[in-house]
Chains A and B, each alone.
Chain A
Amino acid sequence: MKHVIVIGGGVAGMQCASELLRQNIAVTIVEKQQCIGGKIRNWHKLFPSFTPADEVLAAMQQKLTTHNNLTIRTGCEATCITPQKVTLSSGEELRCDATVIATGFTLFDATVKEEYGYGIYDNVITSAELEQMFNEKNVHLKQGGEPKRIAILHCVGSRDEKVCQRHCSKVCCVTGVKQAIELKKMFPTADVFNFYMDMRMFGPGYEEMYREAQTSHNIHFVRGRISEVSPTFNNRLQIKAEDTLTGRPLKMGVDMLVLLVGMKANAHNTTLAKDCNLTLQPSGFMQPKDSFLGNVASNVEGVFYAGAITAPKNIGESINEGTAAARGVVEWLEKR
């Protein structure tokens, strides 16, 4: 029986593994965390349908648990990856016939954008933390109480040369709209303001959700990027932006500021590229073999990519790439 190692047990890795298992190929998933699932474990509901994230996760895990040919190695990282062999951080070497890298992305560290006050002021939180709060059904201010006015800032750590992140993280716009609606549902009397540079509603149902946010939920959209945040005497946050559509500076006090943190390439990618002869994009994400005909293939024969390892992607796209990578692996194994 052929044996394939999938590095990363997020949605892309899980999907890829289950497709390979279906083809009667033995799979080992190497996962850094203590359990598989990846980032989706921390999400609350998925855009644009508001499907609970744990439903999707549970369905995917269900497909994996019934298989005997699956080995899951949690709590370990892959340091060197070749089609025939994966070296783990422990020094252990795993033999295989092909590898799939599905290690995803890293969330941008919002403390780097110091002017937004994350880590300095209490009620500046990231979009990931807000998901956590949604999950715990406990969205509140640090000092207690409900937020009356919330600002959501788009493009934190995306499209920003000042933090060496040129690329668009793709999903933050729609996440911002989704979270705004959720917040509004939770606090119907609160004012929610989205501060954006461009609204990139690229997916099916996204634009409709955007429109719904505007008309059904009275969510405000201000075209302007917040430049700085400062504390006010009554422990609120004062934000400054330009309302570019009126051409005038805008300031307002808010109780809570949500930073839509972008997707950053894993720092690990650089060493991976160097040690395994894989090609890296200037953005730090891995370079697929071809953007049309080799989306899930790497420049090394027998090493495949799935999901956000090559670029920011949403969950649906990542799952699709899991399938595509499995297909690519099967084709490659047949060819040999």
Chain B
Amino acid sequence: MTFFTKFCIPFIVGATVMFTVLAIKYIAWLRNLPKSDWRLIAKNFFSLRTVTALWEVVSESLLHRRIFKVNPALGYMHMSLAFGWFLLIAVGWAETVAYLGMRWVPLQGHVFFKYFAALNNISAHNPTFDFVMDLLLLFVLSGVGMAWLKRVRSRILGMRKTTKHVAFDRIALSALWFVFPMRFIAESVTAALYGGGGFLTSGMGAILNKIASNDVLHHIYEPAWWLYSLALGVFFVAMPFSRYMHIFTEIPLIFLRHYQLRPEAMEKSYDNFEVEACSRCGICIDPCQLQSQLGINDVQSVYFLRDRRYNMLQQKIANNCLMCGRCEQICPVGINLNTLRLNSRSSMRNIPHEGRYNYLRDIDKSSGEGKVGYFAGCMTLLTPNTMSSMHNIFQAAGEDVWWADRDGGVCCGRPLMLSGEMDSAQKMIDYNKALFTKHQIKSLVTSCPICLKVFREQYNINDIEVLHHSEYILRLIQQGRLKVGHTKDATFTYHDPCELGRGCGIYDEPRAVIKAVGELLEPAHTGKNAFCCGSSVANTAISDAQQLSIAVKVAAELEDTGAQTIVTACPLCKKAISRGAQRKVVDLSEIVAQSIK
């Protein structure tokens, strides 16, 4: 039996190139993993995590469960291509075994089995396999059809915008589009000439027999298989350099993620797995307000990852992101988009001199003796209503408070972090930590979600309980230390600040507090899907007018609820939204302070 013919060469070359490049890439990335990451892998390898990772590989890499959840049509498209192709390979292998028994067959023997079966005069056909293989081919072809459709009219598949691609992607994409139609034609011609094939290929074969003479069919027989092989070969060569790198990369990524590897403040080798696992599906484009509101089309996560991968990332792209987390939340591959962007920002800056924050010394301007610390946050100093409301709440609850920054403090460090300056942020963190320790506070309340996030995630102050004022106020109410009156006809709507909601997972507490004093009306986008106010400190690229434009849109949606008052729980959101709103915008603490009995 022979399993080689000339048209196999493109396929063999392509497959060799692909596997070689893949091996080189993965080995290099793994070798460069820092020791701490290797320790995590070693620790978690022989554990249940490997099993759960395996399950996720099936559900995500093959079935694309998460895309299904976002958009069923898109999910089907991805599943039909990935799972369908996988099954074609797996069932195809089983088919060769069924025909030839357990024996070694070179790769191309499996892939071009229909050709070699005819060549080697295997005339007895297995109708079950013929049927199943055709069914699978139809399954994949339906996905290819949808992919075509998506290129032409993305809206049909529920996407306002689809990704713009680079040259390698276009080559790979075109090749991929031809792989399955070519296979269909090659197998149909084979069926027409030599019989066999399931409902699809033999059906097509019968048509071909009708419209073309045997002579013509013999003439196109070899070229059809050539084209199929060429399409495969081109795709394989382009694959490791294109978006399709994600097909394989997602698998090691899932394992590594289950072993607790994460991107960090500085770029590291693990990031490669996340960056190249992006399939550029473009799901991140639609939720991006910079796109929908401002028409900025080149900064979304998909483009950021693409540019970073090809080493053509520009600072203005990296900086132009609200880091609202709306894309990260929806990303079907679960890539840590914000952290990756942050460490990109970090590696793109000038290294500042060490003594730049030497002035952070002996500047304690705090007041009060209490064991409950209140850190208003820089921005809150510009919303004195919040400050005075918190003052009234503390007084009503009989809380003895240490005021950390009423007369000016040191920034929490989060804004610097968000600009990729972790080392600078660390100096703020060290300063404030020392301050908290010096005053021996037991808990720390802040009105600023930006501060809250960094206190919780970077400060490592485990003996101090860090609370957002929404959590703190709710606790006071629940403990009966704060009595508030409920006004039946007071209607409020609530804007989730990004750093509080998606950032810290605090959705319920502010709502519970609002419900304690009045009626809550939810806007169209709320909770995990809430909009960003547009003034995020993470974005240093958009202009004031652009910030305002986003705020106007957000405010309009909040006002559409018909609520009398817009409530938020972040000084920055408050400032931003009140610029765009006709109705009153207040902080959560204000409505509580007004309702104290």
Q: Which residues of A contact B (CB under 8 A)?
A: 112, 114-115, 117, 120-121, 161-164, 228-231
Contacts and interface: CB of A to CB of B under 8 A. Distances in A.
Interface in B542-597: 544, 548, 575, 578-579
B293 interface: no
B383 A162 contact: no
Interface string B277-300: 000000000000000000000000
Given A120-B388, A164-B548, A230-B406, A115 B382 contact: yes
A228 B579 contact: no
A100 B371 CA distance: 65
6 closest Cβ pairs, A-B complex: A115-B382, A120-B384, A117-B384, A114-B383, A120-B388, A114-B385
A114 B387 CA distance: 11
Contacts of A163: 579
Contacts of B548: 164
B257 to A, nearest CB: 43
A228 B407 CA distance: 11
A229 B382 CA distance: 9
Contacts of A164: 548, 579
B544 A114 contact: no
Contact of B382 (A112, A121, A228): A228
Interface string B382-395: 11110110000000
30 contacts: A112-B578, A114-B382, A114-B383, A114-B384, A114-B385, A115-B381, A115-B382, A115-B383, A115-B384, A117-B384, A120-B384, A120-B385, A120-B388, A121-B384, A161-B544, A162-B575, A162-B579, A163-B579, A164-B548, A164-B579, A228-B381, A228-B382, A228-B384, A229-B384, A230-B381, A230-B384, A230-B387, A230-B406, A230-B407, A231-B388
A162 B383 CA distance: 14
Contacts of A114: 382-385
Decide if the interface of chain B is mainly helix, strand, loop or mixed.
helix
A112 B584 CA distance: 9
A228 B406 CA distance: 12
Nearest to B383: A114
Interface of B: 381-385, 387-388, 406-407, 544, 548, 575, 578-579
Nearest to A117: B384
Given A115-B381, A162-B579, A230-B387, 16 more contacts: A114-B382, A114-B383, A114-B384, A115-B382, A117-B384, A120-B384, A120-B388, A162-B575, A163-B579, A164-B579, A228-B381, A228-B382, A228-B384, A229-B384, A230-B407, A231-B388
Nearest to B578: A112
Contacts of B382: 114-115, 228
A55 to B, nearest CB: 39
Contacts of A229: 384
A232 to B, nearest CB: 10
Nearest to B406: A230
A189 B120 CA distance: 114
Contacts of B387: 230
A230 B385 CA distance: 11
A230 B406 CA distance: 9
Contacts of B406: 230
Nearest to A161: B544
Nearest to B387: A230
B42 to A, nearest CB: 54
A8 B578 CA distance: 30
A112 to B, nearest CB: 7
Nearest to A232: B407
Contacts of B544: 161
Nearest to A230: B384
Contacts of B575: 162
A229 B407 CA distance: 11
Contacts of A115: 381-384
A204 to B, nearest CB: 37
A161 B575 CA distance: 13
A117 B381 CA distance: 11
Contacts of B578: 112
A231 B381 CA distance: 11
Contacts of A117: 384
Contacts of A112: 578
A214 to B, nearest CB: 32
Q: Which of A114, A121, A228, A230 has the most chain B CB atoms inside 10 A of its CB?
A: A114
A230 B548 CA distance: 27
Nearest to A113: B382
B376 to A, nearest CB: 11
Nearest to B544: A161
A161 B544 CA distance: 8
B460 to A, nearest CB: 31
Interface core residue of A115, A121, A163, A229 (most chain B CB under 10 Å):
A115
Contacts of B381: 115, 228, 230
Contacts of A230: 381, 384, 387, 406-407
A228 B381 CA distance: 8
Contacts of A231: 388
Contacts of B407: 230
B48 to A, nearest CB: 53
A121 B388 CA distance: 9
Contacts of A161: 544
Contacts of A120: 384-385, 388
Nearest to A121: B384
Contacts of A121: 384
Nearest to A240: B408
A112 B382 CA distance: 12
Nearest to B548: A164
A251 to B, nearest CB: 10
A230 B575 CA distance: 18
A117 B406 CA distance: 15
Nearest to A112: B578
Nearest to A229: B384
A161 B548 CA distance: 10
A226 to B, nearest CB: 12
Contacts of B383: 114-115
A109 B7 CA distance: 80
Contacts of B384: 114-115, 117, 120-121, 228-230
B365 to A, nearest CB: 12
A176 to B, nearest CB: 23
B593 to A, nearest CB: 11
Nearest to A119: B385
B223 to A, nearest CB: 66
A56 to B, nearest CB: 35
B547 to A, nearest CB: 10
Nearest to A118: B384
A121 B385 CA distance: 10
Nearest to A164: B579
Contacts of B579: 162-164
B580 to A, nearest CB: 9
A160 to B, nearest CB: 11
A106 to B, nearest CB: 14
B160 to A, nearest CB: 29
A44 B388 CA distance: 33
B483 to A, nearest CB: 23
Nearest to B386: A114
A293 B575 CA distance: 42
A162 B545 CA distance: 10
Contacts of B388: 120, 231
Nearest to A162: B579
Nearest to A116: B384
A229 B578 CA distance: 19
A120 B383 CA distance: 10
A120 B578 CA distance: 17
Nearest to B587: A114
Nearest to B388: A120
Nearest to B382: A115
Nearest to A267: B582
A162 B580 CA distance: 10
B587 to A, nearest CB: 10
B333 to A, nearest CB: 39
B196 to A, nearest CB: 73
